[in-house]
Amino acid sequence: MKLGGKFDNVDEIAEFTRLRKWQYGEVPPGWLGKTDAFGNITIRPGLTGRKLEETVRHESVHSFFSPSPGLLGNIRAYIGLWAYKNVHLAQYLEEAIAETYGTGSLLIGLSFPIRTGYVSAGRVILEGAAYTAIVGASAYVGQKIGEALFI
């Protein structure tokens, strides 16, 4: 079924997203859906139509980035949740990807994390600049070490 089509049941949407199945259940007030640390998707009861489709697609991205339970999965889940809650750049990227996939619109996706208050634009820009500087400096130092060792 194409984007924007109607679905009759949970299995049809799960097949459409080709990711994890979901269930209706309690979500925080004002939220349409949520995904836990291990990728289990919960959708607000009563959500239907296009909003349901967009929400399931959005949450399926969070599910995709979630690890499976187990020792390493538990550690990865903890680190991922910490990064999501403390690193604005990480949260911005995940939410922007999720909303872009959910709505099918790059512009809506890129503006979503800032427009909805998930992150501040200033902090995302600051963290992005810091990340770029660190990666750039590391590449430069690595190149210089390589030149010194092999020339």
**pLDDT by residue (tens digit) across 97-125?**
999 999 999 999 999 999 999 999 999 99
- Return the residue matching tokens 């004002």: 30
Has residue 1 got a pLDDT over 50? no
| pLDDT, greater one: 12 or 80 | 80
pLDDT at 16: 54
Give the type of residue at 139. Answer: A
Question: Residue ranges of the alpha helices (H) in the chain?
Answer: 10-17, 49-64, 71-86, 88-103, 106-115, 121-150
Which residues are CB-neighbours of 77 under 8 A, at least 6 positions away?
Answer: 37, 38, 66, 67
Has residue 4 got a pLDDT over 50? no
Give the type of residue at 149. Answer: L
Are the C-beta atoms of residues 21 and 10 closer than 8 Å to each other? yes
Has residue 129 got a pLDDT over 80? yes
Q: What is the Cα–Cα distance from 108 to 16, expressed in whole angstroms?
A: 21
pLDDT at 14: 58
CA 15 to chain centre: 20
pLDDT at 8: 59
Q: How confident is the model at residue 3 (pLDDT cuts 50, 70, 90)?
A: very low
> H or E element: which one contains 3?
none
Has residue 51 got a pLDDT over 50? yes
